[in-house]
Amino acid sequence: MHESEPILPGYSQQFFERVKESPGLFWYGALASGILFLCCIILIGYMHWEAGTVEVTALSVPGAPDRIVFIADPHVRPENIEHTREVIRVINSLHPYIVLIGGDFSFHKNENLSLQGVWSDIDAPVYAVLGNHDYLAGIDGGGMDGRISWLQELFLRSNDHDAGFLYSDFPDPDHAQAVTSVLEQNGVTVLRNAYIELDLDGKSLMLVGVDDIWAERADPPDIPDTSDYVIYLVHEPAWRAGWDADLVLSGHTHGGQYRIPPMWVIENLHIIQIRGLSWKGDVPLYVTRGTGTSDHAWEFRYLSSPEVVVINPEPGTLPDNAVQIVVSR
């Protein structure tokens, strides 16, 4: 290279020549870069803080029994065990008659399942279903292809189409049984395509637990004609015309977890059900944001904080920042 040849061609060379002529330009650029870096650090810190918070959502549901607490997606790991204990503290402060957990207790194979003993600290009977991670079941493909397939699956299923061709072929029933066993050893009744009739302070409830859809184990039981209030508990947001439900409770989506503009569009246009209350005919479906996040060392959320749902709460038990929703057409 000749000494007269520029080191950087075109606009890059012109830019550096301008910086040499105007030293202030360098400092403006450095300041802008510093501000951008600081904003990124603040955003990451906020997202980590939000993932460790707990928000209570109170559902006022006419006809439903009182003081039913619902959570999902705890994904219990050593990194979030203290957060899980805080979730349980909030649950107990609501004085529930029963607690429902909508699956995804674990995340990966070979986890320390003894951590699931934390559920024995709940001061009420606990009923649960399993989620796709409890079966180690997922969507075929990884990375961006997997994310697109996840949205495609949710769109198809939300509109009552078969999405089974997208599911992985390798659910692990042994892992699901191991999760079930440790849960039941710690006071959690796991409903796998089964129902149970309960009396909650004089009000009758029929609780129907649907096994996991992604693991292709969902086979809801036939239930008898009843005047009981009927709740279907299923991990992935779903509803079928044959389900004689008064209310369906689901999780799975983490509320989008990062509520970026595409999630706002999906949610506001009701393209697919990501979070909150929607209606399937005359049946309300509530999708909780869940309480856990992912398998990273740190947990992150953005405008989608962990959620504890309480149906018809006891007066005086709600925190000041609780969100109140009336389930009414």
Residue 283 lies in a domain: yes
Backbone angles phi, psi at 325, to 5 degrees: -130, 130
Q: Which residues contact 196 (CB under 8 A, 6 or more apart)?
A: 127, 189, 206, 207, 209
Same domain, residue pair 139 and 33: no
The pLDDT, as a whole number, for residue 143 is 62
Tens place of pLDDT for every residue, the chain, 329 residues?
A: 455 555 545 555 665 566 556 666 566 677 888 888 888 888 888 878 878 889 999 999 999 999 999 999 999 999 899 999 999 999 999 999 999 999 999 988 878 899 999 999 999 999 999 999 999 988 766 566 777 787 788 878 877 778 888 888 788 999 999 999 999 999 999 999 999 999 999 999 999 999 999 999 999 999 999 899 999 999 999 888 788 899 999 999 888 776 666 666 666 666 667 889 988 888 999 999 999 887 667 788 878 889 999 999 999 999 999 999 999 87
Residue 1 lies in a domain: no
Q: Show the tokens assigned to 233.
A: 């508990």
Same domain, residue pair 146 and 246: yes
Q: What CATH number corresponds to the domain at position 250? A: 3.60.21.10
Reference 284, options 227, 243, 322; nearest CA is 243
Residue 300 lies in a domain: yes
Provide the domain limits for residue 140: 54-326
Same domain, residue pair 278 and 247: yes
The pLDDT, as a whole number, for residue 1 is 47
Same domain, residue pair 23 and 121: no
Amino acid at 25: L
Same domain, residue pair 98 and 26: no
Residue 215 lies in a domain: yes
Backbone angles phi, psi at 183, to 5 degrees: -65, -45
Q: Which conformational region is residue 50 in: left (phi greater than 0), alpha (psi within -120 to 50 degrees), or beta?
A: alpha
Same domain, residue pair 106 and 254: yes
Same domain, residue pair 200 and 291: yes
Residue 3 lies in a domain: no
The pLDDT, as a whole number, for residue 25 is 59
The pLDDT, as a whole number, for residue 81 is 94
Using the 8-state DSSP alphabet, how is residue 65 labeled? P
- Please tell me the distance from the alpha carbon of residue 318 to that of residue 310, in angstroms, as a whole number: 9
Backbone angles phi, psi at 58, to 5 degrees: -100, 120
Same domain, residue pair 32 and 181: no
Same domain, residue pair 82 and 174: yes
Same domain, residue pair 133 and 14: no
Residue 291 lies in a domain: yes
pTM of the model: 0.86
Same domain, residue pair 122 and 241: yes
Domain count, the chain: 2
Residue 2 lies in a domain: no
Same domain, residue pair 72 and 217: yes
Reference 58, options 47, 45, 69, 74; nearest CA is 69
The pLDDT, as a whole number, for residue 175 is 95
Residue 101 lies in a domain: yes
